[in-house]
Amino acid sequence: MSVDLSQFIPSFLEESFEGLELMESSLLDLKAGDHETIHSIFRAAHSIKGGAGTFGFESVTEFTHLVETLLDEMRDGRREVDPKDIEILLTSVDCMRLLIEAARDDEEYDEEKVNQTTRQLAQTLVNEDGTGESSASVKNSHNNASASDNDTEQLSTFKIHFVPEHNLAKTGNDPLFLFNALADLGELTTIANTSELPALTDIDPQELYLSWDLTLTTTASEADINEVFEWVEDECHLEITKAGDDNSAELAQAEQEPVEVEEPTQESQQQSSPPLPVEADEVAQPADIQKSDSKPKAKAKVEVSSIRVGVDKVDSLINLVGELVITQSMLSELGSDFQMDKLERLTSGLEQLLQNTKELQESVMRIRMLPISFAFNRFPRLVHDLANKTGKEMELVIKGEQTELDKTVMEQIGDPLVHLVRNAVDHGIEPSEVRLANGKSAKGTIALDAYHQGGNIVIEIADDGGGINREKVFAKAVEKGIVEPNSTLNDSQVFDLLFEPGFSTADQVTDISGRGVGMDVVKRNIQSLGGRIQVESTIGEGSCFKVNLPLTLAILDGQLVKVGTETYIIPLISIVESLQVDKELLNKVSGDMTLYRLRDENVPILPVYQLFGLTTDFTEIDNALLVVVEADGQKVGLMVDHLLAQQQVVIKSLKDNYQQVIGISGATILGDGSVAMILDIPGMIQMALSSAQTNPTNGKLRQRNIREHS
Cα Rg of the chain (Å, integer): 34
Q: Are 550 and 573 in contact (CB under 8 A)?
A: yes
**pLDDT at residue 485 in the model:** 85
Which of the following CATH numbers is that of domain 147-276: 3.40.50.2300, 3.40.640.10, 3.30.70.1110, 3.40.50.740? 3.30.70.1110
What does each C-alpha distance from 380 to 281, 461, 477 come to in angstroms? Answer: 34, 13, 33
In 10 A of CB 170, how many CB atoms? 15
CA separation for the pair 323, 60 (Å, rounded): 50
CA separation for the pair 127, 278 (Å, rounded): 11
Which residues does residue 161 pair with via DSSP β-bridges, in sequence order? 213, 239
CA atoms within 13 A on the CB side of 150: 9
Which of the residue ranges 25-39, 249-263, 423-437, 686-700 has the most confident prediction, judged by mean pLDDT? 423-437
Contacts of 686 (CB under 8 A, 6+ apart): 662, 663
CATH number for the domain formed by residue range(s) 371-550:
3.30.565.10
CA separation for the pair 424, 383 (Å, rounded): 10
Which of the residue ranges 290-299, 303-312, 464-473 has the most confident prediction, judged by mean pLDDT? 464-473
H runs (alpha helix) in 612-673: 654-657
Tell me which fold the domain 555-709 belongs to.
Answer: OB fold (Dihydrolipoamide Acetyltransferase, E2P) (2.40.50)
**pTM for this entry:** 0.60
Q: Examine the pLDDT at 692 and tell me if it is beyond 80.
A: no
> String of b and e for 579-606 (b: at least 16 CB within 10 Å)?
eebeeeeeeebeeebbbbebeeebbbbb
> Closest Cα partner for 425 from 453, 452, 402, 391?
391
Task: Decide yes or no: CATH 1.20.120.160 for domain 5-124.
Answer: yes
CA separation for the pair 389, 377 (Å, rounded): 20
In 10 A of CB 54, how many CB atoms? 22
**pLDDT at residue 633 in the model:** 65
CA atoms within 13 A on the CB side of 147: 0
Q: Examine the pLDDT at 231 and tell me if it is beyond 80.
A: no
DSSP state of 282: G
Which residues does residue 278 pair with via DSSP β-bridges, in sequence order? none
Greater pLDDT, 693 or 244:
244
Q: What is the pLDDT of residues 567-614, one digit of tens each?
A: 999 988 788 999 998 888 888 876 677 888 888 888 888 899 988 889
**pLDDT at residue 444 in the model:** 92
Q: Are 428 and 446 in contact (CB under 8 A)?
A: yes
**pLDDT at residue 586 in the model:** 86
Furthest-apart CA atoms within the chain: distance in Å: 110
What does each C-alpha distance from 53 to 49, 162, 178, 523 come to in angstroms? Answer: 6, 20, 10, 44
Contacts of 411 (CB under 8 A, 6+ apart): none
